[in-house]
Structure 1
């Protein structure tokens, strides 16, 4: 069993089947596994698929009973996702990708916190100012496209306005947690309409290769980034976000109030000239 110690919780991953085990003290609300057949329509190459090949698992609403009231008060949920190792026709396994809905004032869409617990993640972020504006997903225009490398022990705040998908670019399983604002609508239709996010991430013996998704018209130039800390938003690398929320839940008020924190969240992205530079000397784990 692999200890997911960066979570600060008694979570363990079975090395053979990549199923997560929780201490008896922890509980979760639901579990779901997605297979290759569930990802059809989102992959670059869908020839000769094994429909029952596991893709990723999601464990929702993990908490200790004594923390439950705190999570409910702030309307926040702690989840863990396990993306399986390997590729499908050369494409790295990933989550399906989605956008977030608007706040009541219709000024910003909601943010989300992603903390990598094991492996290396590449997050595809794409901004669409007109998301949901016309009611027609075909009208979506991508204004900004950012690939963010996040290593184990680091945390990304997905900025308001950005759709996102998580990609496992390592050789083993990739595990990440998230803090999500429960009232936030989650919108999948746009990504599925365009057969995925704006960029596909492929991998072979020579490394990672990117391919633009030509189903989108007029995609902008791809940017590359890594992440920065912000203690005022509860983000300190090496300090589990569960523990941060447990001690100071008020720091995560930005999840419910995206319009007040959008610029600060965007400032946590550190831009680089290339993907290899973003990956850095530490490489991919």
Structure 2
């Protein structure tokens, strides 16, 4: 059965991540071998949202995309439910990868961000974990891959703004069976397939005024000041903006 989301005057059908899609990035391989729930839904991605046709045209004209992801609470065996995780490619003609910005709409999220050595994804240079609640902003700066974990007992709903001109890179995460750490019921565990994994740095979300938003304001409203999001499409021109984020 299709899962849909009404956003403004439009209804969008979800892209569904199934349990079997997560096996390559999961900690508890033995649980996956035993489970008979491989075809169950894990989480839902509503992509390219806009409240009306005028907003959608403005979003497209600025090479952006606004998405909402819904992650029900649950476990992957001994590991908390999470997204598959991915990296972003570099902006053509530069050595700077595309960033992304998230906002928690409902529930709470644990964002794991990792920076790896170029062409040696098993050598991790930095790992940061940010726990965010409703209204909080989390910026994934250039150079970092990321995974979102729902370590709560409530459904997580989060939004993101991102450049629409690229495809996410999943292969390194799959090849190494996940990110550099897994979040289990008793805490974070290192992924042994990585050659080098530094300790986690625990950070706070961005202040709401980082993008000029009022406290509790939905970042979709940046559609009215869309030039503020140009750092997502031309990050090479905003390196000072990213300084100190992590």
Q: TM over 0.5: same fold?
A: yes
User: What's the offset of the Cα at 1:125?
Assistant: 0.2
Alpha-carbon contact 1:41-1:195 (below 8 Å) kept: yes
User: Which of the numbers 25, 48, 53 marks the counterpart of 1:42?
Assistant: 25
Aligned pairs for 1:61-76 (under 5 A) are 61-63=48-50, 64-76=52-64
CA distance in 1, matches of 2:122, 2:243: 21
Counterpart in 1 of 2:6? Answer: 22
1:102 to 2:90 alignment: yes
Contiguous gaps of at least 5 residues in structure 2: none
User: Which of the numbers 220, 226, 240 marks the counterpart of 2:204?
Assistant: 226
Are residues 192 and 234 of structure 1, via their aligned partners in 2, closer, same or farther at CA, if it must alter by over 3 Å?
farther
Aligned pairs for 1:1-285 (under 5 A) are 21-22=5-6, 25-28=9-12, 31-47=14-30, 48-49=34-35, 50-63=37-50, 64-130=52-118, 133=119, 140-203=122-185, 209-229=187-207, 231=209, 233-244=211-222, 246-269=223-246
Instruction: State the secondary structure of the residue aligned to 1:192.
Output: helix
Counterpart in 2 of 1:6? Answer: none
User: What's the offset of the Cα at 1:264?
Assistant: 2.6
CA distance in 1, matches of 2:17, 2:143: 26
CA distance in 1, matches of 2:86, 2:124: 13
User: 1:160-204 CA distances to partner (integer Å, 9 max, x unpaired)?
Assistant: 10000111011011110111101133110000010000110112x
Alpha-carbon contact 2:136-2:208 (below 8 Å) kept: no
Are residues 104 and 120 of structure 1, via their aligned partners in 2, closer, same or farther at CA, if it must alter by over 3 Å?
same
User: What's the offset of the Cα at 1:52?
Assistant: 2.2
CA distance in 2, matches of 1:129, 1:251: 30
Alpha-carbon contact 1:229-1:268 (below 8 Å) kept: no
Root mean square deviation of aligned Cα: 2.0
User: 1:45-76 CA distances to partner (integer Å, 9 max, x unpaired)?
Assistant: 02223212321110111112121111011111
Could you tell me the TM-score, scaled by structure 2's length? 0.90
Are residues 185 and 21 of structure 1, via their aligned partners in 2, closer, same or farther at CA, if it must alter by over 3 Å?
closer
Could you tell me the TM-score, scaled by structure 1's length? 0.78
User: What's the offset of the Cα at 1:23?
Assistant: 5.1
User: 1:227-279 CA distances to partner (integer Å, 9 max, x unpaired)?
Assistant: 122646355541111112x210000010012123334334244xxxxxxxxxx
